[in-house]
Amino acid sequence: MSRQNKFSWMVKPKGFIKLLGGEYDLMQKAGGTVLFKFYLSSIIILFIAFVSFVSIVYAIELLFHAIIVEVLLSTFLSLLFLLLFIFIVNTFTKDARQRKLLNLSNITRLGFVMFIGFIISKPIEAFLYRHTIETDIEQHKTQLVKEHTLKIDQLFAQDLLKLKMEKAKSTSLGLYGDTLQINRQVAVIDQKKKELAATSIFRIEHGAYFIYRIKVISGKYPGSWLISLVVVTLFLLPVFLIYSISADEEYFKRKNEHEKKMVERA
């Protein structure tokens, strides 16, 4: 089978190879597995881009509940993560002829790739466990309502105590006009308490609790860590594929020669 026909099944291979800074023409001439690994890495990166976008969309939807904000912010963050990821994979591509796996540079880059994958995995976990943690979220909301109600009571407790003492004093002195005025002030404070409590309950009921969801899922459901592992592994796959290419591949020799000729012509 000719090299041209060998890779005829690939869709837009030149564009995909350029995504990782590869030279498609040189790869075709050199043969071997380089072209396949670069192409597969590019396909995986596109899938990672899709997974990242979906993950970020869900996270933004939980936080903002606004379609325009969701679309714009999700697109921006997805592209940011994707470009950072492609840049890191490209750095591994350029290091193809310097195969030192365990050095500070590689460890740092691998750590950053794993961190990006870990961050992307959290909204996916929140989505997959959204029904499982409904009871935990409702209990958390109930607890928050109690805490906020207590804080509101404490906020006005001193003023109400002072008014109560003044009312007792006015009543004992027969100053009923002052007593009525104090009653009106107490009624105003009670109304403020009701308004604040209603506002707190509304915000608590409509809160997303994204961080709390992640905390509950990570703490109570060990299976969620498997999701993180799968996503992180997905992010590491392109790096592994690129770095698994032998430094003795014909492609790198041709590329090195091609770059030397370009420098000489310049």
* 217 vs 211: CA distance, rounded Å: 10
* 81 vs 60: CA distance, rounded Å: 15
Higher pLDDT, 23 or 228: 228
Please say whether the beta carbons of 48 and 235 come within 8 A: yes
- Angle in degrees, CA 192, 195, 197, rounded to 5: 105
Please say whether the beta carbons of 44 and 234 come within 8 A: yes
* 188 vs 46: CA distance, rounded Å: 60
pLDDT above 50: residue 74: yes
* 20 vs 92: CA distance, rounded Å: 10
Q: Which of 10-24, 141-155, 195-209 has the lowest mean pLDDT?
A: 10-24
Kindly state the average pLDDT of the residues 111-132: 92
pLDDT above 90: residue 217: yes
Q: Helix or strand or coil: residue 56?
A: helix
pLDDT in tens, 134-167: 999 999 999 999 999 999 888 888 888 888 887 7
Burial of 213 (0-12, 13-18, 19+ CB in 10 A): buried
Residue at token pair 């506002």: 199
From residue 17, alpha-carbon distances to 2, 11, 87, 200, 251 in Å are: 20, 11, 14, 54, 13
